[in-house]
Structure 1
Amino acid sequence: MKKITFVIAFLFSFTLFSQGYKGSYRINKNTTQNYGGPSHLSEIKIDAAKLTIGGILEASYEFIGNDASGYGISVLLNPRENDVYFEKFSLTPFYRMYFLNRQDYGAKGIFVEGFSKFSFGTDDVYYDSYNNNEYFDTALGLSIGKKWVNNNGFILEIFAGGGRTLGLSELSPEGFFRGGIFIGKRF
């Protein structure tokens, strides 16, 4: 448990570097209005697909360090017992690189994401009434997607990818899918 606490604290410490930054403002060349405050931006998003279809909450925070990259973390909570989705809780730190970015505001368009995943869940395939069927495992993976940001900072993001678990538990799946349709706000 100490290792998990250390990893979570380490990942959240990255956001402390953004405090007190007094950078330049992004200016829309067409309207000459300031957009989004300093050049370092933050985004908060929620997965609308998982929420509406399965009642699963996945929220994501992304810190945009420059026009071509960003990093963040996603948290998934599955409060209900269902046969559709095996994870009960997951923490997914990620790093994104944006390509074909000819926009004024940057950090939108096509992206490639590398991520790691720390997840807790249940395995119903090997269920035995006398044994515990819960697992904890870590994973590494890649995904690809596209992000649209309008002039008011609202976000639509679609991505898909997958990865492979590292095999810390016999009950965890060998591979998994990561993706969704996220909506959110840049500020």
Structure 2
Amino acid sequence: MKKITFTIALLFSLSAFSQGYRGPSTQGYRNSSKGYGGPSHLSEIKIDAAKLTIGGIIEASYEFVGNDQSGYGVSVLLNPRENDVYFEKFSITPFYRMYFLNRQDYGAKGLFIEGFSKFSFGTDNDLYYDSYRNNNNNNNNEYFDSALGLSIGKKWVNNNGFILEIFAGGGRTLGLSDISPEGFFRGGIFIGKRF
């Protein structure tokens, strides 16, 4: 009971603090009564609508916006069912973004370039890697690998803090596993909220 009371009190105090705090105004941010442009530090939570609707794959992303020119965060992908098209079952992707041509209010939106690393688990799916497996018919080979890559995209943020983000890019795995793919695609159509 004490833990529940403490948790509720903590959440209430954090909520009250975040609603009352406007923070210092920085260049490129507009002071807003809702606070989406006022604080110099903002958070965003987004989900990839394209992967979710097309393949039932869940990819969620958190981004911390430190100023109007850059942000960093992490994406987590979960592929809950066997899928011959998409080889990853689970991945964690830390990223860093630099924003360009940012002449609008609310900062950290518009054109961006992203550098990222990826740590992923997956299954060799027989469609692409038969030549590497010497005709081994076991189609449930698991792998773990990491990768580095770049992507480019654009983000729109409206006055209420809702986000639409479209980006695409790719990278190359570091070759920790013989059956992991040599390269991969990263991208999507993300929707979310800035707070």
- The TM tier, using the shorter chain, reads 0.7 to 0.9
- Residue of structure 1 equivalent to 2:62: 61
Provide the aligned C-alpha RMSD in A. Answer: 2.2
Structure 2's unaligned 5+ residue stretches are 1-17
Q: Distance in 2 between matches of 1:142 and 1:88?
A: 21
Per the TM alignment, residue 38 of structure 1 is displaced from its structure 2 partner at its CA by 2.2
Structure 1's unaligned 5+ residue stretches are 1-18
Rg: which structure is higher? 2
- 137, 152, 168: which one aligns with 1:144: 152
Q: Does the 8 Å contact 1:25/1:35 carry over to 2?
A: no
Deviation per CA, 1:76-125: give whole Å up to 9, x if none: 00000011100000000000000000011100000000000000000012
Deviation per CA, 1:38-85: give whole Å up to 9, x if none: 220000000000000000000000000000000000000000001110
Q: Distance in 2 between matches of 1:28 and 1:168?
A: 47
Structure whose residues are more often strand by fraction: 1
Give every structure 1 segment of 4 or more consecutive aligned residues whose post-TM-superposition deviation is greater than 3 Å. Answer: 25-29, 126-132
SS state at 1:66 partner = coil
Instruction: Tell me how many residue pairs correspond in the alignment.
Output: 166
- Residue type matched to 1:114 in 2? G
Tell me if 1:158 matches 2:166. yes
Normalising by structure 2, what TM-score? 0.79
- Residue of structure 2 equivalent to 1:6: none
Q: Does the 8 Å contact 1:70/1:95 carry over to 2?
A: yes
Aligned sequence identity (%): 82
Q: Does the 8 Å contact 2:125/2:139 carry over to 1?
A: no
- Residue of structure 1 equivalent to 2:115: 114
Q: Distance in 2 between matches of 1:46 and 1:83?
A: 22
SS state at 1:52 partner = helix
Counterparts of residues 27-176 of structure 1 (less than 5 Å): 28=30, 33-36=33-36, 38-125=39-126, 126=130, 128-129=136-137, 133-176=141-184
Q: Distance in 2 between matches of 1:66 and 1:44?
A: 17
SS state at 2:52 partner = helix
SS state at 1:85 partner = coil
Query: For the structure 1 residues 33 and 61, does the alpha-carbon distance in structure 2 shift closer, same or farther, using more than 3 Å as the test?
Result: same
Q: Distance in 2 between matches of 1:49 and 1:131?
A: 27
Query: For the structure 1 residues 74 and 138, does the alpha-carbon distance in structure 2 shift closer, same or farther, using more than 3 Å as the test?
Result: same
- Residue type matched to 1:172 in 2? S
- Residue of structure 2 equivalent to 1:4: none
